[in-house]
Amino acid sequence: MGVVLLDGNAVRNFALDEAALIKAVDPQFKELDVNNDGVLSRSELRVALERLNLLETVGGFPVSKTPEELNALYQSAFEMFDMDHDGKVDLAEFREQLKQILLAVADGLGSSPMEMVVDDD
């Protein structure tokens, strides 16, 4: 493990590097697709979002939400990922949405560096 400094430009370059994005995203998709049907269901995608803990925090700090509020947030996130609105998220949709999220993070970071702990792989 190591620590790297990333700024918005580094995150943007990664998001736009198709080979690097595929290498990072595809194994995550495969891990989340627990029934191996080639798509993510609502529950499979929710596991990923819960793991990231993005919807339960603001600025990294926990925010109290009712179960109904959380369900609505997860539903909204699924709708965003399900770009063709067919009730499932395929690999292309998953990649594209993660790319868009990374580009938004890059915009937010700008030239401000962020420390990140990374695995040697």
| pLDDT tens column, 14-71 | 999 999 999 999 999 999 999 999 999 999 999 888 877 666 666 566 677 788 888 8
Which residues face 51 on adjacent strands? none
Which residues face 6 on adjacent strands? 114
Phi first, then psi: what are they for 47, rounded to 5°? -60, -45
Classify residue 78 as exposed, middle or buried by CB count within 10 Å of its CB (0-12, 13-18, 19+): buried
CATH number at residue 85: 1.10.238.10
Q: Which domain holds residue 9?
A: 2-118
Tens of pLDDT, residues 106-116? 998 888 887 87
Measure Cα distances from 103 to 12, 34, 94, 96, 121 in Å. 6, 28, 14, 10, 23
